[in-house]
Amino acid sequence: MSTQRKAEFVEDGLSEQSVHDFLAAHPDFFERHSALLSSLDLPHASGGAVSLVERQVAVLRQKELRLERQLKELIQVARQNDVLSSKVHELTLQLLGAASLHRTIVVVEEALRSGFGADQAVLVLFGDPDAFADINVGRFFRVVRKDDETLKPFSTFLNGSGARCGKIRDSQREFLFRHDADEIGSAALVPLGDGAELGFLAVGSVDSDRFHPGMSIDFLTRLGDLVAGSLKRF
């Protein structure tokens, strides 16, 4: 008669992932086993050892410092947005009181230079230059026909949607800022009206990082809508 050997049961050792999953599923484990918690030591970067509780306190402190920095950044952004909102409100009131196209353009230029700190700014309006010959506000105001060859460098922007920020091509800088082109490190191009139907606003800065592709364009979009709405009155 043959005997059959019973299969031996071999218990697999717990994997690190199993321990991780268990602790994740039972976050109160160490509360119920406080003695075990106080006996655990973790290696420290200095070569010594700290208890798990001390390590957790250190991690929480680092997290608190990180959250504090983030809070300060959010507060700073909120304050900047509050200042911008106040300036937009003031510009809106001034534009409402502008009784002519000439006065509207002057208000926009003054707001960009003094209120918003633009180093250079240009308002490009599409139309017949002869029809605006009586408006003289210096080099801030430029009237060109929409099919003018000088606008070819802006074709991608004009056919796109929304404002563009960052470094611009030499041909664009020279068209917009002329003698001051070499001083401009970055610029924002803001369409006026749907598909830039009226033209566009260009704001230049000597700071190459002042306008960059990753920045929010909400404020610039609102500024463009406000200026476009004011120009449409005339």
Of the given ranges (71-80, 97-106, 141-150), which has the lowest mean pLDDT? 71-80
Which two structure tokens, joined as six digits, stand for 199?
Answer: 């033209």
pLDDT digits (tens, 9 = 90+) for 142-182: 999 999 999 999 999 998 888 999 999 999 999 999 888 89
Q: What is the mean pLDDT of residues 85-109?
A: 90
Amino acid at 125: L
Give the number of C-alpha atoms closer than 13 A to the C-alpha of residue 38, restricted to the C-beta side: 5
Other Cβ atoms within 10 Å of 190 Cβ, number = 26
| 3-class DSSP state of 209 | coil
Give the number of C-alpha atoms closer than 13 A to the C-alpha of residue 41, restricted to the C-beta side: 7
Q: At how many degrees (to 10) do helices 52-96 and 218-231 cross?
A: 10
Beta strands 141-144 and 41-43: pairing type?
Answer: unpaired
Which two structure tokens, joined as six digits, stand for 53?
Answer: 């509780």
Beta strands 120-126 and 141-144: pairing type?
Answer: parallel
- What whole-number percentage of the chain has pLDDT above 70? 85
pLDDT value of position 51? 59
Helices (DSSP H) in the chain: which residue ranges? 16-25, 29-32, 34-39, 52-96, 101-110, 155-159, 170-177, 218-231
SS3 content of the chain, % helix, strand, coil (to 5): 55, 15, 30
For residue 125, report the phi and psi dihedrals to the nearest 5 degrees: -110, 135
Task: State pTM to two decimals.
Answer: 0.67
Rounded Cα–Cα distance for residues 153 and 150 (Å): 7
pLDDT at 133 over 60: yes
Q: What is the mean pLDDT of residues 204-220?
A: 88
Who's near 126: CB < 8 A, 6+ residues apart? 143, 144, 145, 146, 196, 197, 198, 199
Of the given ranges (38-42, 152-156, 181-185, 205-209), which has the lowest mean pLDDT? 38-42
pLDDT value of position 62? 82
Amino acid at 79: R
Task: Domains for the chain: give ranges and CATH numbers.
Answer: 69-231 (3.30.450.40)
pLDDT value of position 113? 85
